[in-house]
A and B are shown apart, each in its own frame.
Chain A
Amino acid sequence: MTDSKYFTTTKKGEIFELKAELNSDKKEKKKEAVKKVIASMTVGKDVSALFPDVVNCMQTDNLELKKLVYLYLMNYAKSQPDMAIMAVNTFVKDCEDPNPLIRALAVRTMGCIRVDKITEYLCEPLRKCLKDEDPYVRKTAAVCVAKLHDINAQLVEDQGFLDTLKDLISDSNPMVVANAVAALSEIAESHPSSNLLDLNPQSINKLLTALNECTEWGQIFILDCLANYMPKDDREAQSICERVTPRLSHANSAVVLSAVKVLMKFMEMLSKDLDYYGTLLKKLAPPLVTLLSAEPELQYVALRNINLIVQKRPEILKHEMKVFFVKYNDPIYVKLEKLDIMIRLASQANIAQVLAELKEYATEVDVDFVRKAVRAIGRCAIKVEQSAERCVSTLLDLIQTKVNYVVQEAIVVIKDIFRKYPNKYESVIATLCENLDSLDEPEARAAMIWIVGEYAERIDNADELLESFLEGFHDESTQVQLQLLTAIVKLFLKKPTETQELVQQVLSLATQDSDNPDLRDRGYIYWRLLSTDPVAAKEVVLAEKPLISEETDLIEPTLLDELICYIGTLASVYHKPPSAFVEGSRGVVHKSLPPRTGSSESAESPEAAPSAGQAAEQPAVIPAQGDLLGDLLNLDLGPPVSGPPLAASSVQMGAVDLLGGGLDSLMGDESEGLRSDVGGSPAMGGSGFTAPGPAAPAAMGAPLGSGLGDLFDLTGGVGTLSGSYVAPKTVWLPAMKAKGLEISGTFSRQVGSISMDLVLTNKALQVMSDFAIQFNRNSFGLAPAAPLQVHAPLAPNQSVEISLPLNTVGSVMKMDPLNNLQVAVKNNIDVFYFSTLYPLHILFVEDGKMERQMFLATWKDIPNENEAQFQIKDCSLNADAVSSKLQGSNIFTIAKRNVEGQDMLYQSLKLTNGIWVLAELRIQPSNPSFTLSLKCRAPEVSQYVYQAYDAILKN
């Protein structure tokens, strides 16, 4: 016999030849011919032309030949339905054959012929076969009902086959039960509402009995069906569990997993106090561990399932950590999955062991695996707080290896550790900065930039570091660009004086030179925030971030519960419910775990609380920084549409109150600043999207020494001659920070004009010249009224005293603290930035004396919540001395009363921007502490007014 005899090509001649052989009288020859036909059919050749000849061979008592003919029929009946009818009679006859094998074969084959006319003839034989005396026939008939249902569901229902099928659940033969269960389960899936699988304790009992006797495949059908049952109480759940547990030691891993599924589901109903619960937990671990000795692909499937189980009930495998240690010859997908489970199982008890393993993995050859191992160390740190320090030092060790990808991954995870434990491990930043140059992956660069921005105040050269990134801004990925923008804004808010240019640069890069809408929008938002309300900007950008937790990578609890119901199926591998990937899924039944019953719920011990519950209580997912900004966009901070509201949007400092007080000057300042804004960016103003144009930051950080003072005239108030209190000079800018230039100074108000009295000292070795000064926008619009006049170059070790006249018509921006002034001083060497606090009394104007009636009315008019009380301690002056001393600084006493031995002074003052402050000063002769009550429509100034009082009275 040659091997290729069945595989000759079917030319016309061969078909003809086969035809002749099929019609031969000799049985052997016939059989060989049919075999040849089947062989041709199998390899995909068209032998349908032989249909009548093959069907003719059907009436034979040779079972082997019959099977082959039936196989042929199944294949070609659909394409030749008319001819297939010819075979019906033989089928019907065979269904009555004394040989059960033939009866079963006939009914099986008929079900596979998907031709309507044939199915009509199928009903009667099927009805008989469902009640056949031979179990082999019955089990085949049970499957046939499912086949018929697939072809014609209505027919099956009309003929009452479903009821017969239900009866088969109580059959004496376990194989019949198993097939009936399988068929019913499938049919039930397409009728989610029907009560087909109406399981009750009796039928469950029968299933459990059949479970012990049927084949392994039948056991799987039954177990899968049991998993859909909802026991009525915990006692029933326990008894089912007890009878399913022996399946855990089956050699077929599919049986084991199906049993695990049933147990995991019913355990939900058991009280954790039960001894049985603990026993069951112990019994679940060994079979799961055994699954890991299968071939790698099955290991992977097992690990995906274990991943679910561990999330649901970590206690099952908490002692089995070692099983999940990676073998060097595991395929990468197994390794990665094991790592994931290791982290889920990591606890204080085993963390040392886990870390030692992870550190080993981090030196392996496979790059993907090494990366994941480094990340895993970070996740351990976040999960097990006690281990954080160890994890950080392990990561530092890894950074020392200088292996590029290890360093980068380590930096990414250290960022996460910072987010979990802020202000704890900043000492490592220096080490991280050393590796700045080796970072070439966007994620690592972004992480490093985030760290620099977040801890800008502790990194001396943060601005230089960030500036170095800025050079190639446009070549960076979006991730890095966004992070760089945010980091520089943070830096600016933390060190405003030194980084104006940087922030301006990054804002213009982001808004003008980028095509990325995310980047542009974020840039505009920062820009607006900074230019309208730096305090709000600070609150937003430097807001305290929620801590991250390890829960972020857990599966959502409801999904987890659903997936537990699909243990052992493809859904558990994909970690998606079947509806998400089963094509044309029939009526999808949403499975869910049974609710826990029993009264002992409240008595649960805390450490045994279900992880799902814990996860639900945890804050969900931490919003990334991008989200935070996204939220902002939805707030009303959005840019106003037209001109006038633009001004309103800029006045954030208690705007309503201030406007109510009729503060024309403030409005005047404001609109002037704004005009320059709009003028600087006509395109944007015109488009209705009135984001601050480039002119806005230009005003705040424009090049220095451009004779800015000329812009404004000196506008002093007209008032009495008075010498207001002048604080001694303090060093504002130490020489160390300004390449040898030391600036000290103070503020004074004389004859209605404010001046800044400066002493510039050259402590460098070279001559300084070309001095200029500029102020950042500030709360009261303070600005130099004249250029900084230093007439001769400043020789080394020489000082010069200058009195710089100021006015209050500069741009206004609310600062925090309110009296903060950011100053830039330029000389021939460099530009230096510093900030200082000015005493508020330099802003008290000379016409600050209110009419008595007016005072009373205003006092009543200002709501009480605007009143602030302060104590001025250790002041030994009497009321008159106080009064005259304060008058020198433009605080005017309007009335004085003596109530029960206390002196009450009623005073008023007015700020340069028109804000009135009313005061009541209570002086008890015997008590060195005065009580100061301040009322003001803009209550945020009260504190600074108090500071002014305090300073004046004590000097």
Chain B
Amino acid sequence: MISQLFILSSKGDRLVYRNFRGDGGDDVTDAFYRAVTSLPGDRAPVFMAREGRHFVHVRHGGLYVGVTTTADTSPFVLVEFLNRLVTLLREHCGTLSEKSVSVNVALVHELLGEMVDFGYIQTTATEVLRSATHGEPETTKAFSLLDLRSVGLFGAETQQSKVAPGSITNRPVLPPRGEQPARSELFVDVVERLTVVIAANGTPLKVDVQGEIRLKSFVPGGCELRMGLTEELSVGTEEQRGYGRLPLAAVAFHSSVDLEEFEQERVLRVTPGPGEVTLMRYQLAEDVPVPLPFRLLPSVEWDPAGRLRIHLKLRCDLPPKQGDPTLCPPSPPSSHAINVVLQLPLPREASSLAQELSSPEQTAELQGGGRCLRWAIPRCQGGAQLGAVFRVQLPPTPPLGLGPAALTFELPALTVSGLRLRCLRLSAPPGAPPAPPQRWVRHLTHSDSYVVRL
């Protein structure tokens, strides 16, 4: 049960405050802000207990969105709710910022009144809220495709851009009442996260792929969406799943997804309302070999005086060409990785670094007071091999050993599992607008944790 709910600006000003159960003073926000700011580090823990209250908060757009509870409530409920609240606020106010919240404060109150009653969460469904609220969203500024700040996939917090117009997703989902939507659009993201540990001898110790399909719709309700997935998909444990090329160990669907055709056709049917939903979460079975995107071939030479020569060869094993152009949408002609960063912890604090890199756009530097070597590669083509030589000066004590090296990267337009959207059809309800909605499908893989032991 939620006792109080608040949204604070980054400076601790109260933007929204509701006391649902009439217990506790109104000074909780001050107590919370004091607690948050008195902690070292820039990220306070999600759960905090202060002055007999349990605070749970998330941070978005510089705002603190938090609740308090005194009862023994499920932390999952609270965090899920806060995340949902943030999504809803985005849908109703466009971006989430101090400005947009304070302008729409009446609407936010109205929403909260419907969402929570006496601390019991009632609903977080966009459609339901839509019918129960009457306030109109006020937008804070005109949309600009040139506004690069708001570029980004809504599904994953990455810097990937250029694939689809990003800022378009940062507007209220709900068109002003009584107006035809300016443009009906539909975004589907297939985002995969890759967790890999590669042993020193090059064999993968652990390969874990988690993915999700997200849908953000600006289409008025009533249209049925049919989404065809890769047909080789199979689900279940080893005994259950048969011979599919793309075995998934665990799948979870949103409750609105109709799975009637899933078994046979691998088609998800959903009738989306305006708003954002995660349609499907899945995990690739562990016993399936996944082509790993990167290999690292290091060679290290020690010198008793503490000089260390590290020669790193990074091979990008992405296929030079991927996919079938007949797919919808067609695969890009070649695959590549972007924003590749390799971090290599050093055994002792290094005092100096000399580097030989293969191209000027790459950079290398020491971080963490010399305890870590960071090599950044903005873009790496599939099939390419990059080399770099680093010379590091360390204190002349016997070293403990290097590594492990950690890689972060993004693979645009590619899913490592091979799961793709085969087709995306929207059947219009009777009397639908003549123009079919614009559909955007985006695939992306990013590294959650990609570790190469040395």
Contact = CB atoms under 8 A, between A and B. Distances in A.
A725 B56 CA distance: 90
B33 interface: no
B118 A6 contact: no
B252 A112 contact: no
28 contacts: A38-B106, A39-B105, A44-B14, A64-B106, A64-B134, A108-B113, A111-B118, A112-B20, A186-B1, A217-B77, A217-B81, A251-B253, A251-B281, A252-B80, A287-B250, A289-B249, A289-B283, A297-B47, A298-B79, A301-B79, A327-B448, A328-B406, A363-B400, A365-B345, A568-B74, A569-B73, A571-B72, A584-B70
B75 A570 contact: yes
A403 B102 CA distance: 55
Contacts of A330: 449
Contacts of A68: 106, 109
A264 to B, nearest CB: 15
A290 interface: yes
Nearest to A43: B14
Interface in B221-280: 237, 249-255, 278
A44 B70 CA distance: 23
A223 to B, nearest CB: 10
A847 interface: no
B448 A217 contact: no
Contacts of B20: 112
B252 A250 contact: yes
A401 interface: yes
Contacts of B371: 365
A856 interface: no
Contacts of B75: 298, 301, 568-570, 573
Interface in A161-193: 175, 179, 182-183, 186
B15 interface: yes
B125 A215 contact: yes
B131 to A, nearest CB: 9
Contacts of B113: 67, 71, 108
A146 B119 CA distance: 11
Given A111-B118, A143-B120, A360-B404, A570 B73 contact: yes
B453 interface: yes
A390 interface: no
Q: Which of A35, A251, A254 has the most CB of B within 10 A?
A: A251
A297 B79 contact: yes
A6 B205 CA distance: 58
A570 B105 contact: no
Interface string A485-525: 00000000000000000000000000000000000000000
B210 interface: yes
A325 B76 contact: no
Contacts of B15: 42-43
A584 B49 CA distance: 15
Interface string B200-228: 00000110101000000000000000000
Contact residues on B (Cβ < 8 Å of other chain), bracket: 35 or more
Interface string B105-128: 110011001000110111111000
Given A39-B102, A114-B22, A298-B76, A64 B110 contact: yes
Contacts of A183: 120
Contact of A363 (B76, B81, B286, B401): B401
Interface string A140-160: 100110110010000000000
Contacts of A289: 249-250, 283
Interface in A18-69: 35, 38-39, 42-44, 63-64, 67-68
Contacts of B401: 363
A325 B252 contact: no
Given A111-B118, A146-B118, A290-B281, A254 B77 contact: yes
Interface in A93-127: 101, 108, 111-112, 114
Contact of A112 (B22, B80, B125, B210): B22
B134 to A, nearest CB: 4
Contacts of B237: 282
A675 interface: no
B292 interface: no
A327 B195 contact: yes
B1 A220 contact: no
Interface in B1-19: 1, 13-17
A694 interface: no
A909 B206 CA distance: 81
B76 A568 contact: yes
Of B20, B74, B106, B255, chain A has the most CB atoms within 10 Å of the CB of B74
B214 to A, nearest CB: 11
Residues of B contacting A: mostly = mixed
A63 B134 contact: yes
A3 interface: yes
Nearest to B286: A322
A779 interface: no
Given A68-B109, A570-B73, A583-B52, 18 more contacts: A67-B134, A71-B109, A111-B118, A216-B255, A217-B122, A221-B120, A249-B250, A249-B252, A250-B252, A251-B254, A254-B74, A293-B283, A301-B75, A327-B448, A360-B453, A566-B72, A569-B73, A583-B70
Contacts of A650: none
Nearest to B250: A286
Contacts of A402: 398
Contacts of B132: 101
Nearest to B124: A217
B237 to A, nearest CB: 7
A39 B117 CA distance: 21
A317 interface: no
Contacts of B52: 583
B26 interface: yes
Interface in B402-454: 404, 406, 448-449, 451, 453
Contacts of B16: 42
Nearest to B22: A114
Nearest to A66: B134
A764 to B, nearest CB: 43
B135 interface: yes
A71 B46 CA distance: 29
A1 interface: yes
B343 to A, nearest CB: 9
Contact of B46 (A220, A297, A365): A297
A33 to B, nearest CB: 12
A6 B345 contact: no
Contacts of A16: none
Contacts of B80: 252-254
A35 B453 CA distance: 60
Contacts of A257: 74, 76
Interface string B63-101: 000000011111111011100000000000000000100
B380 to A, nearest CB: 20
A779 B353 CA distance: 75
